[in-house]
């Protein structure tokens, strides 16, 4: 894991977590664009089908406020990056 990735915050980590970064032995995807831009998503143990499907991640800072979700999908040219597709309820 490179130094830049170790300095990043993982989606779901509390803001006051003393170690909100990635953990050794886990697999991550970088979220690009939208309300969760720059966070890492822990996909450890996800199936290939789930990785292809992407994720609708709960966020309070999206278009629909608390309880809304930000949708992210794998980038074809770089599957380690997931692009924002929009917000949903």
pLDDT one-digit tens code per residue, 34-62: 999 999 999 999 999 999 999 999 999 99
Task: Kindly report whether the global pTM for this prediction surpasses the value 0.85.
Answer: yes
C-alpha closest to that of 34 among 62, 8, 9: 62
pLDDT one-digit tens code per residue, 14-29: 888 899 999 999 999 9
- What is the rounded average pLDDT for all residues in the chain? 93
- Residues 49/53/54/60 CA torsion (nearest 10 deg): -120
- Residues 76/38/14/29 CA torsion (nearest 10 deg): 20
Residue 84: pLDDT above 90? yes
């Amino acid at each position: 894991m490179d130094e830049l990735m170790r300095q990043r915050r993982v989606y779901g980590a509390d803001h006051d977590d003393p170690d909100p970064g990635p953990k050794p032995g886990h697999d991550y995807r970088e979220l690009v664009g939208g309300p969760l831009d720059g966070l890492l998503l822990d996909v450890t143990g996800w199936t290939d089908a789930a990785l292809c499907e992407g994720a609708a991640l709960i966020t309070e800072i999206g278009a629909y406020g608390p309880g809304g979700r930000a949708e992210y999908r794998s980038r074809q040219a770089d599957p380690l990056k997931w692009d924002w597709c929009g917000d949903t309820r």
